[in-house]
A and B are shown apart, each in its own frame.
Chain A
């Protein structure tokens, strides 16, 4: 059972906009920033969004993040076939424990 809650799956057609939610609590998302990771099949996770809404160099601006209270969201606009992957939200808990969501498998139809 993961500390952060994500939907197990999401889907969309090419060009569409999809969002993935992540729910936590006051001790993690509520008081610390949220990060998102993309894990393509058979590969290591890659940092996609940090500090709620910041993109590392090289990440397309089609990916955006937001946070409100104890929840966060990842939005992908202009969906492409190469976006098909697992997406994980993550945050630090106030006890200095890194917590992850269970992951959302994104399917591009």
Chain B
């Protein structure tokens, strides 16, 4: 069974960089599939951040593209998210998820991690 687990600081100061990691178990990232990040502000809906293929090719939400970097580490079977210059508007539960292929849905999700941006 594929399992994903997010980890990282729960509190980030404004203007700093948010960094999260998603550890994958039950499946080898290097075998294929896309891997993505989605966030959900408290009490609000879902927003796709971006996705990465196991080879390292990426595509991002244009609204966040200038601040986002997603990378993959196949040796550790994990992928990561960096979001720079954060503000309070970036406070959200961040989910990592597996995506079947480039145009396919997110079929396995992590439990999510709350990141609060505050001084």
Contact = CB atoms under 8 A, between A and B. Distances in A.
For chain A, which range describes its interface: under 10, 10 to 19, 20 to 34, or 35 or more residues? 20 to 34
Contacts of B61: 97-98
A56 B110 contact: no
Contact of B48 (A43, A44, A50, A97): A97
Contact of B104 (A45, A50, A88, A99): A50
A75 interface: no
B46 A47 contact: no
Interface string A72-109: 00000000000000001010100111111111000000
B26 interface: no
Contacts, number: 50
Task: Give the 10 A-B CB pairs with smallest separation, nearest first.
Answer: A98-B48, A35-B105, A44-B109, A100-B46, A102-B45, A50-B105, A103-B45, A47-B107, A92-B103, A44-B112
A2 B110 contact: no
Interface residues of B, number: 21
Interface of A: 2, 32-33, 35, 37, 43-47, 50, 56, 88, 90, 92, 95-103
Nearest to B63: A97
B27 interface: no
Contacts of A2: 45
A20 B105 CA distance: 19
Contacts of B59: 96
Contact of B45 (A33, A43, A47, A88): A88
A101 B45 contact: yes
B46 A88 contact: yes
